[in-house]
């Protein structure tokens, strides 16, 4: 797998994928664009060579590779490299698999959409994050699409909770308040300012808990000067994050929402966000079933207030959130999305060699 920067949360997923592939005598090797800094957790093979086309050809020969999963972004390390590996692999009749969004979801450029779709012609399989992205691809690609439902490896995270909700709320200086959790990298596109504006009204018994590094945006002063907002900064400890999700009542990122949504589902937190462009994981949010997608700040505020006083609605949405994780966003669904096309292509390879 040729990979862009390898984030820490993907390592447990690839550990499980590598373990499953071993059952079929298939070895997973990941070649990330950037050198890993948490190698002690890795249970799969990885390469640290500079990402160049010459190295790509050398690696294919050295490790006798005939199946490649391309999980690069077209401009990393360069568009030239991206195109070269596609055409070289195609001409060498290697099993080339695309993995990603299908195209650049942040762009509305129709020319770029055509370029992406054209390049997909040279892939034998296309692995997407969710079924939603299928609509972006030409009809000729539909039969080779598989879905590896993008998620986090959260299996058995409950073991991290050793105290009751009441004890943990006391630990973090909360009482019986209704807690809204915002967790993730704090960027302007996530529109944290909407929640801050809502909290300025000092709603009785509603608190906002914010976790994450501030990447851009001027939020710190307003958060520190509002007694209804608790900002804990970035937290990378799994146990502490599990506790914070456990004590919260709902999860809200008004703007661009991504994998934080999955963690909220696991812990049974209803999700509230605005109706705008989100990451593919928005697929899991079903309006009025496990959360709400609203049109503006006023609607968001009304839903938060409603949930803070309607315990039956909150309980129903919470149960549905957990069911969504179990049925759709579980790690097995993601692993199977990789296994199916890899196994199919490996079988095709054996058949061709016998002929």
CATH class assigned to 157-327: alpha beta
Q: What percentage of the chain reaches a pLDDT higher than 70?
A: 96
Q: What is the pLDDT of residues 61-78, one digit of tens each?
A: 999 999 999 999 888 899
d(CA 311, CA 297): 22
- pLDDT classification of 36: cutoffs 50, 70, 90: low
Cα dihedral across residues 69, 71, 77, 78: positive or negative: positive
pTM across the whole model: 0.92
pLDDT at 106 over 80: no
Closest CA to 317 of 329, 328, 330, 304: 304
d(CA 207, CA 205): 7
Model pLDDT, residue 349: 52
2-151+331-354 matches 157-327 in fold: yes
pLDDT at 320 over 50: yes
pLDDT: is 265 or 35 the higher one? 265
Domain ranges of the chain: 2-151+331-354, 157-327
Determine the CATH number of domain 2-151+331-354. Answer: 3.40.50.2000
Question: Which contacts qualify for 77-82: CB closer than 8 Å, 24 or more apart?
Answer: 77/33, 77/51, 81/51, 81/52, 81/53, 81/56
Q: What is the pLDDT of residues 129-172, one digit of tens each?
A: 999 999 999 999 999 999 999 999 998 788 889 999 999 999 99
- Exposed (0-12), middle (13-18) or buried (19+): which is 333, by Cβ within 10 Å? middle
Model pLDDT, residue 159: 84
Q: What percentage of the chain reaches a pLDDT higher than 90?
A: 85
Residue 23 sits at φ, ψ, to 5 deg, of -65, -20
pLDDT at 354 over 80: no
Q: What is the DSSP string of 243-257?
A: HHHHH-SEEE-SS--
> CA–CA distance from 303 to each of 123, 250, 268, 297, 333 (Å)?
45, 11, 17, 10, 31
- Exposed (0-12), middle (13-18) or buried (19+): which is 346, by Cβ within 10 Å? middle
């Amino acid at each position: 797998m040729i990979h862009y920067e390898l984030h820490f949360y993907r390592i447990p997923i690839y550990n499980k994928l590598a373990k499953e592939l071993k059952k079929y005598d298939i070895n997973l090797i990941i070649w990330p664009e950037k050198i890993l800094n948490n190698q002690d957790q890795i249970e799969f093979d990885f390469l640290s060579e500079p990402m160049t086309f010459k190295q790509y050809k050398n690696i294919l020969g050295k490790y006798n590779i005939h199946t490649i999963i391309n999980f690069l972004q077209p401009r990393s390390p360069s568009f030239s490299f991206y195109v070269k590996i596609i055409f070289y692999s195609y001409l060498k009749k290697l099993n080339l698999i695309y993995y990603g969004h299908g195209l650049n979801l942040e762009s509305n450029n129709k020319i770029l959409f055509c370029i992406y779709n054209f390049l997909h012609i040279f892939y034998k399989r296309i692995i997407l994050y969710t079924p939603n992205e299928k609509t972006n691809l030409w009809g000729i690609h539909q039969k080779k699409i598989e879905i590896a439902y993008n998620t986090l490896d959260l299996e058995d995270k409950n073991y991290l909770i050793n105290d009751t909700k009441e004890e943990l709320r006391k630990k973090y200086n909360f009482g019986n308040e209704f807690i809204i959790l915002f967790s993730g990298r704090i960027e302007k596109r996530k529109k944290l300012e909407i929640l801050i504006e809502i909290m300025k009204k000092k709603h009785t018994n509603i608190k906002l808990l914010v976790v994450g590094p501030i990447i851009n945006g001027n939020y710190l002063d307003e958060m520190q000067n509002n007694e209804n907002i608790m900002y804990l900064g970035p937290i990378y400890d799994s146990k502490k994050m599990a506790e914070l999700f456990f004590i919260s009542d709902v999860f809200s990122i008004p703007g661009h929402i991504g994998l934080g949504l999955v963690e909220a589902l696991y812990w049974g937190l209803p999700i509230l966000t605005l109706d705008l462009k989100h990451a593919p994981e928005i697929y899991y949010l079903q309006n009025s079933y496990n959360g709400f997608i609203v049109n503006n700040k006023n609607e968001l505020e009304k839903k938060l207030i409603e949930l803070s006083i309607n315990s039956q609605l909150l309980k129903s949405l919470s149960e549905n959130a957990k069911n969504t994780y179990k049925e759709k966003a579980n790690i097995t669904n993601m692993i199977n999305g990789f296994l199916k096309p890899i196994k199919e292509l490996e079988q095709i390879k054996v058949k061709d060699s016998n002929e």
